[in-house]
Amino acid sequence: MKALVTGAGGMLACSLIPVLERAGHEVLALGRSDADVTRLEELLRHARSFRPDWIFHLAAYTKVDDCESRHDHAYLVNGVGARNAALAASSCGAAILAVSTDYVFDGTSAVPYREYHTAAPRSVYGASKWAGEQAVRELEPRHIVVRSSWLFGHGGANFVDTILRKASSGERLRVVDDQRGSPTWTHDLAGALVRLAAVRQFGTYHVTNSGDCTWFELAAYALAAAGVKVPLEPTDTAAYGRPAPRPAYSVLSNQLYEHATGHRMAHWQEAVERYLLAEGRSASAEAAGRR
């Protein structure tokens, strides 16, 4: 297939582009300087000249706390940007796969969220991503919307790297223990996106590494897997005081993804171990083979 990727400078794209290329697909990778997704004419120009089979729309304004004070910018990039990507897909007969977030949910569920659960975003980031989802659904019937969560991976600022960096600089580590979700390695998510595009069963999917934990539990696991022994203290969301509200519970059910692709996502602990091994940060090679 011919795949046009937006947001090519970002963390998920850093995994998706090589996964697509290794599978033999032809890729046009567009960073922000190649195509600003808020400018429809730039996306249309690339779509019409490259003529992709799929547009993988990854570009987003992902600074969750800054979105609270940059409301218009968040809607422009995450809402209008997704609309423009869908219009670009329609202009050249491509299908679109757009990536969204667990933050479209309010976090009041006690069981994993399914695709049909009502979205009720609590943050500007979540609301702007929900606006983008809706635009994609309305404008291009050949769409796949994939909600994922708690991404970590090469080529972007992420929680696992931040914890290990803070630990090595001797900073006091206090991590919230009252938000529960599913950490997801971008490499595993990239494989899932390519699988979903291949089966062409259009619609909305939840895709994360399996299992769930709190940020505190993720920090503890990553430190242990990297062989770093430092004190780690649990704290809570109220004490941490971030501008954007986060869902207390945002575990997503992968059942529909498994049904469509026949593939089961790896457990998040295994994914953390493989990530650290790939980054040369694992405590031991055996850690990767433990599961």
Active site residues: 125
Q: Which is nearer to ligand NAP, 161 or 283 (CB)?
A: 161
Q: Using CB under 6 A as the criterion, what x/- string covers residues 59-78 for binding ligand NAP?
A: xxxx--------------x-
Residue 146: CB minimum distance to ligand NAP, A: 9
List 84, 101, 204, 269, residue binding ligand NAP (CB under 6 A)? 101
Q: Which is nearer to ligand NAP, 102 or 287 (CB)?
A: 102
CA 54 distance to own-chain centroid: 18
- Regarding 89 and contact with ligand NAP (CB under 6 A), the answer is no
List 55, 74, 127, 151, residue binding ligand NAP (CB under 6 A)? 151
Applying CB under 6 A, the span of 18-26, 31-39, 168-176, 227-235 interacting with ligand NAP comes to 31-39
- Regarding 10 and contact with ligand NAP (CB under 6 A), the answer is yes
Residue 121: CB minimum distance to ligand NAP, A: 12
Applying CB under 6 A, the span of 52-60, 105-113, 195-203, 222-230 interacting with ligand NAP comes to 52-60
Q: Which is nearer to ligand NAP, 9 or 112 (CB)?
A: 9
Strand partners, 143: 96
268-278 and 186-199 helices cross at what angle (nearest 10)? 110
Applying CB under 6 A, the span of 53-61, 198-206, 226-234, 255-263 interacting with ligand NAP comes to 53-61
Residues numbered 232-271 forming contacts with ligand NAP, rule: CB under 6 A:
none
Reported for 72-79, long-range contacts at CB under 8 A and 24+ positions apart, including other chains, are: 74/124, 74/125, 74/128, 75/128, 75/131, 76/38, 77/37, 77/38, 77/128, 78/125, 78/128, 78/129, 78/131, 78/132, 79/128, 79/131, 79/132, 79/135
Residue 62: CB minimum distance to ligand NAP, A: 4
Applying CB under 6 A, the span of 10-18, 116-124, 195-203, 212-220 interacting with ligand NAP comes to 10-18
Return all residues near 116 (Cβ < 8 A) that are at least 6 apart: none
- Regarding 38 and contact with ligand NAP (CB under 6 A), the answer is yes
- Regarding 181 and contact with ligand NAP (CB under 6 A), the answer is no
- Regarding 80 and contact with ligand NAP (CB under 6 A), the answer is no
- Regarding 99 and contact with ligand NAP (CB under 6 A), the answer is yes
Are 5 and 56 within 8 A, CB to CB?
yes
Binding region for ligand NAP (CB under 6 A): 6-7, 9-12, 32, 36-38, 58-62, 77, 81, 99, 101, 129, 148-151, 156
